[in-house]
Amino acid sequence: MSVFKNYIAGQWLDSDKQIANINPSDIDDTIGFYASASESQFNLAIDSAQQAFDDWQYSGSQQRFDILDFIGTEILSRQNELGELLAREEGKVRSEGIAEVARAGQIFKFFAGEALRSDGQCLPSVRPGVKAEVTREPVGTIGVITPWNFPIAIPAWKIAPALCYGNCVLFKPSELVPASAWALTEIISRSGLPSGVFNLLVGEASVVGESILCHEQVDAVTFTGSVETGNHVLKTLTARGAKAQMEMGGKNPLVILDDANLEQAVECAIQGAFYSTGQRCTASSRLIVTEGIADAFTTAMIERVSQLKVGHALDSSSQIGPLANEMQLKKTERYIQLGKVQGAQLLAGGYRLSRDTPGYYLHPALFTETTPDMSINRDEIFGPVASIIKVKDYGAALEIANDTAFGLSAGICTQSGKMAEDFKRKAQAGMIMVNLPTAGVDYHVPFGGRKRSSYGSREQGHYAREFYTTVKTAYQIF
């Protein structure tokens, strides 16, 4: 089987060590072996990025537009092929894989346009005869560290703005999903970017990850991953004064009020909690339901959860794929067990499934009789598990929705405009959804959360420039 190499200083480089990429829908299927970058290869990448930055930072906006537009166009034209590859390595179903690839293409197209929309200010100084100019400049070399659950969209929403604003990139994808990262890199390598501007470093967290965090010449790091890793990343970066942007976990509430449209609420809950196998930072894991609708909602949910079709990611009848790896499966099972031990009632799912091919299949789990203090309602499980929390009224629902260490996304199902407005104002989260699933966002508006979910400025849309640029103020006598 061929080895997929890293892309460093404009060259494809093999390594002594390789990482096997295993299909979670069929663990007998090895997608490929991916070179694991060494420390000396990291050093080559950082040196080449630094050299490339000398010119790239002054590149014209037309050049940046052309490059980003080329990448976006090719991704979009190959969305079926790349979506299938993504589904094969991560385990989300094919349609979700294709949609994610399309999203990545749209993101590159959006930032191609952003390259032409650079802005600044020229204004009179408070001193007569002097003018002040406020401009934005690239930050330098950016470390991009990404998780496995969105193998191409998250890299896209970090790499595209980094290049758009004139930065160089060291990209370390999750070791679990190197195929999408490699495919994206292969496209980038043909886009006309000067050598060294973009480097792919598939490799171990302890080697490549730590080098990105600790190297003085990495000016900024954008990280998406777990809170645990995020804490370490932030501590290391702040200790050496590097710029940091972090997107971490979630424990997102979906509030369902008595006046909700039942069918719509169930759809939001099923979609938000279980699609992508619940492995989304924006998944609705806490379904907070007021008592007037609780019984009808619970009955409808049991029926829907029982009917969910779990299977091979590439089987067109599958609605839910496997968990991404054995560790995720075991972690999810541990929490299901903990839920039962702490007194929650498992109403549907929560058991392993066997399919034609050996994979990490689990039927999504639905709990009732849960209280806000239970581990299943406090910790991010990152699997297909949702709990119903029954409450008296909207006031209690809001209080419980906000009673969490996280603050990424929060949703409400109601037909009352007044309640929806109140929730939009008072829910402590970066993104609010009204009669929509907590997961599923646009790419042209800010993405991010509060509390332990996020740190630093927002990602995506025009707001992304905050992280990828640094502001300069110049004064001049005229």
Q: Which residues are catalytic?
A: 247, 281
CA 38, distance to chain mean position in Å, is 26
* Residue 204: Cβ-neighbour burial (10 angstroms; 0-12, 13-18, 19+): middle
Q: Which amino acid is at 69?
A: D
Q: Which amino acid is at 57?
A: Q
Q: How many CB atoms lie within 10 A of CB 339?
A: 24
- Shortest distance, CB of residue 412 to ligand NAD, whole angstroms? 20
Residue 220: closest CA among 49, 59, 60: 49
Nearer to ligand NAD, 83 or 225 (CB): 225
Nearer to ligand NAD, 201 or 305 (CB): 201
Nearer to ligand NAD, 129 or 241 (CB): 241
Nearer to ligand NAD, 25 or 146 (CB): 146
Nearer to ligand NAD, 191 or 282 (CB): 282
- Shortest distance, CB of residue 294 to ligand NAD, whole angstroms? 28
Q: How far apart are CA 115 and CA 93, in angstroms?
A: 33
The binding site for ligand NAD (CB under 6 A) comprises: 145-150, 172, 174-175, 205, 209-210, 213, 224-226, 229, 232-233, 247-250, 281, 380, 382, 408, 453
* Cβ-contact 198, 185 below 8 angstroms: yes
- Shortest distance, CB of residue 455 to ligand NAD, whole angstroms? 10
- Shortest distance, CB of residue 247 to ligand NAD, whole angstroms? 3
Nearer to ligand NAD, 282 or 368 (CB): 282
CA 474, distance to chain mean position in Å, is 37
The residues, any chain, with a CB within 8 Å of residue 473's CB and separated by 6 or more, are 132, 133, 134
- Shortest distance, CB of residue 214 to ligand NAD, whole angstroms? 9
* Cβ-contact 388, 294 below 8 angstroms: yes
- Shortest distance, CB of residue 174 to ligand NAD, whole angstroms? 4
Nearer to ligand NAD, 133 or 210 (CB): 210
User: Rg of the chain over CA atoms, in angstroms?
Assistant: 23
Residue 169: closest CA among 148, 200, 147: 200
- Shortest distance, CB of residue 130 to ligand NAD, whole angstroms? 43
